[in-house]
């Protein structure tokens, strides 16, 4: 089973495959304080930051057009992503944000980062 967002399989060829060019950082909900017994209290939801040194225009536009339909962000009711334990996990909610980048040279976007949050 591959990674999915809104029932769209994330392209598995380079650079999308995490081992061949992307950095995938899954984060658990943030610890905001400790309770009276010293146990951590968390707030919010899990999130993912996915980054690449560069993406071609075609790869970049998969995110902006195929997935986001040119919107700045979108909430979906289906995602299959790795969690912070490295387990492939199915989520019933996620918010995908438009990719950011540092600059474009020719048909290449550099220092690309996608944030996917509100994972539950």
Total domain count for the chain?
Answer: 1
DSSP label at residue 2: -
- Find the DSSP H helices in 10-106: 57-61
pLDDT of the residue at 15: 65
Which helix (H) or strand (E) covers residue 79, if one does?
A: strand 79-82
Sign of CA dihedral 44, 48, 54, 57: negative
For residue 20, pLDDT over 70 is answered with no
Given a cut of 90, is residue 10 above it in pLDDT?
A: no
| pLDDT tens-place string over residues 26-84 | 999 999 999 999 999 999 999 999 999 999 999 999 999 999 999 999 999 999 999 99
- pTM, entire model: 0.90
Look up the domain containing 112 and give its range: 4-119
pLDDT of residue 22: 86
Q: In this predicted model, what pLDDT tens digit does every residue of 83-119 receive, in sequence order?
A: 999 999 999 999 999 999 999 999 999 999 999 999 9
pLDDT recorded at residue 21 = 65
Nearest CA-CA partner of 3 in 74, 70, 57, 67: 67
């Amino acid at each position: 089973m591959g990674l999915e967002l809104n029932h769209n399989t994330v392209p598995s060829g380079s650079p999308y495959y995490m081992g061949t060019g992307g950095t995938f950082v899954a984060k658990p909900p943030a610890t905001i304080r400790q309770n009276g017994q010293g146990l951590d209290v968390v707030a919010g939801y899990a999130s993912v930051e996915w980054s690449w040194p560069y993406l071609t225009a075609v790869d970049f536009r998969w995110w902006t057009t195929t997935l986001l339909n040119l919107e700045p962000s979108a909430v979906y009711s289906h995602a299959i992503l790795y969690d912070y334990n490295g387990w492939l996990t199915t989520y019933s909610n996620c918010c995908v944000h438009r990719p950011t980048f540092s600059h474009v040279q020719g048909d290449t976007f550099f220092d690309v980062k996608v944030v996917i949050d509100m994972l539950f």
